Structure 1
Amino acid sequence: MAERAAIKGGRGRAVLAGCALVACLAVLLSLGTWQMQRLAWKERLLADMTERRHATPVAIEAIEQVKREGGDIEYRPVTVTGVFDHGRERHFLATFNGQSGYHVYTPLQMADGRFVFVNRGFVPFDRKEPQTRREGEVEGVQAISGLARDSLAGKPSALVPDNDLAKNIFYWKDLSAMASSDGIAPEALVPFFVDAGAAPNPGGLPIGGVTQFDLPNNHLQYAMTWYGLALALVGVSGLYIWRSRR
């Protein structure tokens, strides 16, 4: 009787162990497959970025039309003309060539009265305030060439700090908050950013052309890690079963 119970208990444990093994293997394989799918997506994204950034620039109205139709506007070359309102600069915490500082987002008022926030480029920490770089506060009508950048729907991560509107320091690019803190009504706002190109500004600041193109692409490495763990799990389990039977 006791022997039967022991045999039955052993079979039960074996079934549970087998189910746990299959479940773990399924999770590892699914994670590896997901990373391969992410790899394909990232490669398409990088290819699209390369193709778009070398396309012929179009007027900002054409980019607006693409966005209204639900198209992807990211990294599309664009031109826009208007007058900078330097008194409404917004500052986004950033790094450039290993140096910490800010990207300067300045509303550009177009001929129709609407505003588009232009990322004019990078300034070091000690040049945050406009009075420290008066030469770069260009006046009059300016023709800007750059890249369209879409706004974010929300904070990208819980780890990202909240924007500090009182100190005019943004940790994530909240277009609505930038505009509202500047007193710009939604109907007077172009619903995306423009990253200015690398054309030099008087006095050298802000440093333009700060758009990042080198997106991390480690998905193949991650996929191989998950598949490797799955293979190791099969190998260890097989060795255990072989030794148990012996």
Structure 2
Amino acid sequence: MASTLRSGSHLRPGAWRSILAPGLVSLVCLGILLGLGFWQLERKGEKEALIGRILARSKVEPPAPLPPVQSWDPARDEFRRVRIAGIFRHEAETLVHGLAAGEVPGRALQGYYVLTPFRLEDGGTVLVNRGFVPTELKAPAARASGQVEGPTTVTGILRGSEPRTMFVPAPDPVRNEWFNRDIGGISATRGIADPRPYLVEADGTPNPGGWPKGGQLRVDLPNNHLQYAFTWFGIAGCLIAVFGVFAWRRLHEAPEPAPARS
């Protein structure tokens, strides 16, 4: 019995070859998992920096004039508070699909964000996101009292154009429906000859009639990247443990005896 246990503790001849292919596959998967974990840690730092920048620019800094078109830099200027003066062109408003927080916590309202061209008193046109309207108030006639007529002043947050990803539907200009803040596309469709390369997210100043509701920009962005990183690192640890058990058994278990010949 003792001799059997001692002989079973030795490596089986050629056992290393049996784990070579699984080992290479596991090594590649381990590299991917670790890479995803470290990438989430990098994203965590980027998100924290973004949140800090948004909070500083949107709440601390006083409203500033719009940046010149030729010096517009999204990394430097986006999320700054600005104040503009001019006139709304309500006849050329554009609807962008979106969600907004409802009265019931955790339940979002489905509807549209109303992007309206704003003719600046010093020349040029900038799109203003006046706020959110529910689906039943999609038609301008249903909220006619919400239009601001004549010269006015708007305070809000500067935003850049929002790229359309592969999961975002294409816009339908005929039906006046868009799914992302495509400043260039919306401006071209609306015939704006001198658009600014950014838009203004209007603050929460009430509109006549209560709609659209501005101030929908949320600066408390979720930051779950540390949790995601721990998840990827945890899966990597499980992979190491599973392969370790698999490799130990392959290397140390005795081969099955050959069937006896008659």
TM-score, scaled to structure 1: 0.88
1:169 is matched with 177
1:146 is matched with 156
Separation in 2, partners of 1:241, 1:180? 62
Separation in 2, partners of 1:164, 1:227? 43
- Helix, strand or coil: the match of 1:209? coil
The Cα shift of 1:213 comes to 2.3
Distance change (3 Å), C-alpha of 1:243 and 1:7:
closer
Is there any run of 5+ residues in structure 1 with no aligned partner, and where? 1-5
* Superimposed CA distance per residue, residues 158-192 of structure 1 (whole angstroms, 9 cap, x where no aligned partner): 1111111000011111111211111112xx11110
2:257 is matched with none
- Helix, strand or coil: the match of 1:166? helix
Distance change (3 Å), C-alpha of 1:195 and 1:33:
same
Q: Among 223, 227, 230, which residue is 1:221 paired with?
A: 227
- Helix, strand or coil: the match of 2:77? coil
Q: Among 20, 29, 38, which residue is 2:34 paired with?
A: 29
Separation in 2, partners of 1:40, 1:70? 19
Separation in 1, partners of 2:183, 2:225? 30
* Superimposed CA distance per residue, residues 39-62 of structure 1 (whole angstroms, 9 cap, x where no aligned partner): 1111111111111111111011xx
| Pairing 1:41-190 to 2, within 5 Å after superposition | 41-54=46-59, 55-60=61-66, 63-64=67-68, 67-68=71-72, 71-97=75-101, 98-152=108-162, 154-155=163-164, 157-185=165-193, 188-190=194-196
| RMSD of aligned alpha carbons | 2.0
Distance change (3 Å), C-alpha of 1:66 and 1:200:
farther
AA aligned to 1:45 is: L
Please say if residues 66 and 72 of structure 1, whose CA atoms lie closer than 8 Å, have aligned partners that are also in contact. no
- Helix, strand or coil: the match of 1:206? coil
Count of paired positions = 234
Distance change (3 Å), C-alpha of 1:18 and 1:100:
closer
Separation in 2, partners of 1:234, 1:166? 55
Q: Highest relative contact order (Cα 8 Å, sep 6+), 1 or 2?
A: 2
Separation in 1, partners of 2:213, 2:226? 35
2:260 is matched with none
Segment of structure 1 superposing worse, 19-28 or 98-107: 19-28
Separation in 1, partners of 2:23, 2:16? 10
Identity %: 36
Which protein shows a greater Rg? 2
Please say if residues 66 and 73 of structure 1, whose CA atoms lie closer than 8 Å, have aligned partners that are also in contact. no
Please say if residues 67 and 73 of structure 1, whose CA atoms lie closer than 8 Å, have aligned partners that are also in contact. no
After TM superposition, what 4+ stretches of structure 1 lie above 6 angstroms from structure 2?
none
Is there any run of 5+ residues in structure 2 with no aligned partner, and where? 1-11, 102-107, 254-262
Distance change (3 Å), C-alpha of 1:59 and 1:122:
same
2:3 is matched with none
